[in-house]
C-alpha cells in the first residue's frame, strides 16, 4: 500500500492526495516529488556526474554486465514478480533494462536527486518515478522485489535503509543488492563517487539479516578484473578526484569488449551455482523473513 508522506495513513485513491490531512505532493516533469530531504542534504555531491553517467552507461561494459546479472538474479529467485521497485534509480539505466526483461511487471524507481530523475524520465517508457528519501519510504508491503544497485554505500544510515526495504517488501518478496566490495580497495574513485564505505561480505550479510531478511545468495563479481582494478587504483592515488571518472569511462572499444566478455564468463559461473570469493563488487539476494530476530 501507499502511505501519505505527511501523516503516514494509507492512501486509497489513484494519486498521492491524502483525504485525511490534505497533503498533495507536487508532480514534476515525469515524477512525483514525495520527499526532498536527501536532495537538501546533498553536501558536496556533484550533480554533473549524472550527465556523464547518462552519456556513458550504455556503452560501458561494467554497467551492461551488471544489468544482465541483476535481471538474472531477479528472474532466478523471484519468478514472475508483479511489482519491482528500484531505490536510487539514478538516470534509469537499470530500470530501462528491467522494462525490457520484465514486460508484465509494474516498475517503479525512487531517487533523491531531481537532476537524475530528469534523465530517467527521458529514458523510461512505463516505470513510475518518485523523488524520495530511502530512510522513510512512503509504502508498506507493496513490492515483490526491491533493488538497490550500488546505492547503500552512499547512505550513512544504511541499516535504516535496509529496514525500510523490508517494510515495503511483500511477505513473499525480497531484495537484490549490489555494493562495492573490499574496504582495502578504497581509492580516489570512491571519494569521487561520494561513497561512505566499501563492504565486506560478512558486514553486508550481517546488516541484511538484522534488517529482517534471510540471505539466499551472495557472490562477488568483477572478480577477473580485480588485478587491473588494483593497479588502476594504485596509479590514481595522486590523481585529482575530478579526473578519475573521466579515465574510467575512457576505454578503447576493443578493451571494453574484452572486459565485457570476461564478466560474461563470470555471470555464467554464477548462474551455474558458484559463489565467487573475491571481486570488486558484491551481489546479494535475500528473502523477507516474517519474524525479525
Q: What is the pLDDT of residues 148-193, one digit of tens each?
A: 999 999 999 999 999 999 999 999 999 999 999 999 999 988 988 8
Cα separation, 216 vs 205, in Å, equals 10
The number of angstroms, rounded, from the C-alpha of 63 to the middle of its chain's C-alpha atoms is 12
Inter-axis angle of helices 114-123 and 48-56, to 10 degrees? 20
Q: Is the pLDDT score of 117 beyond 90? A: yes
Cα separation, 116 vs 50, in Å, equals 6
Strand ranges (DSSP E) for the chain? 32-33, 83-87, 106-111, 128-131, 143-149, 169-180, 213-221, 281-288
Helix (H, G, I), strand (E, B) or coil at 169: strand
Enter the DSSP assignment of 183. G
Positive/negative CA dihedral, 119, 122, 128, 130: positive
- Are 110 and 134 a contacting pair, CB within 8 Å? yes
Q: What's the grid cell of residue 180?
A: 562495492
> Higher pLDDT residue, 98 or 40?
98
**Which of 164, 160, 196, 147 is CA-nearest to residue 45?**
196
- pLDDT (average), residues 72-94: 98
The per-residue b/e assignment along 221-238, b for 16 or more CB within 10 angstroms, e otherwise, is bbbbbbeebeeebeebee
pLDDT of residue 207: 99
Q: Which domains does the chain have, with CATH numbers?
A: 32-288 (3.40.50.150)
The tens digit of pLDDT for each residue in 230-263 reads 988 777 666 665 555 555 677 899 999 999 999 9
Q: State the alpha helices, DSSP H only, in 102-252.
A: 114-123, 158-168, 188-192, 201-210, 226-235, 241-249
- pLDDT (average), residues 276-292: 93
Amino acid at each position: 500500500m501507499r502511505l501519505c508522506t505527511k501523516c503516514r495513513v494509507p492512501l486509497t485513491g489513484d494519486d498521492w492526495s491524502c483525504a485525511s490531512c490534505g497533503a498533495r505532493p507536487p508532480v514534476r516533469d515525469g515524477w512525483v516529488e514525495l520527499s526532498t530531504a536527501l536532495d537538501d542534504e546533498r553536501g558536496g555531491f556533484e550533480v554533473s556526474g549524472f550527465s556523464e553517467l547518462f552519456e556513458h552507461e550504455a556503452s560501458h561494459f561494467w554497467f551492461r554486465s551488471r544489468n544482465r546479472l541483476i535481471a538474472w538474479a531477479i528472474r532466478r529467485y523471484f519468478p514472475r514478480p508483479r511489482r519491482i521497485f528500484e531505490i536510487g534509480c539514478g538516470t534509469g539505466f537499470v530500470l530501462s533494462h528491467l522494462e525490457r526483461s520484465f514486460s508484465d511487471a509494474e516498475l517503479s524507481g525512487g531517487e533523491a536527486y531531481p537532476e537524475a530523475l530528469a534523465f530517467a524520465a527521458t529514458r523510461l517508457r512505463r516505470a513510475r518515478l518518485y523523488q524520495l528519501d530511502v530512510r522513510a519510504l512512503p509504502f508498506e508491503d507493496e513490492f515483490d522485489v526491491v533493488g538497490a544497485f550500488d546505492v547503500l554505500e552512499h547512505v550513512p544510515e544504511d541499516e535504516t535503509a535496509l529496514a525500510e526495504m523490508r517494510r515495503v517488501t511483500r511477505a513473499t518478496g525480497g531484495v537484490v543488492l549490489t555494493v562495492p566490495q573490499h574496504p582495502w580497495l578504497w581509492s580516489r574513485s570512491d571519494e569521487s563517487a561520494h561513497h561512505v564505505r566499501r563492504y565486506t561480505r560478512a558486514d553486508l550479510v550481517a546488516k541484511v539479516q538484522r534488517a529482517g531478511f534471510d540471505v539466499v545468495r551472495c557472490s562477488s563479481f568483477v572478480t577477473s578484473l580485480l588485478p587491473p582494478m588494483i593497479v588502476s587504483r594504485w596509479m590514481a592515488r595522486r590523481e585529482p578526484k575530478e579526473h578519475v571518472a573521466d579515465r574510467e569511462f575512457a576505454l578503447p572499444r576493443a578493451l571494453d569488449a574484452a572486459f565485457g566478455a570476461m564478466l560474461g564468463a563470470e555471470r555464467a559461473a554464477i548462474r551455474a551455482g558458484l559463489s565467487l570469493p573475491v571481486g570488486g563488487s558484491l551481489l546479494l539476494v535475500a528473502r523477507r523473513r516474517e519474524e525479525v530476530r
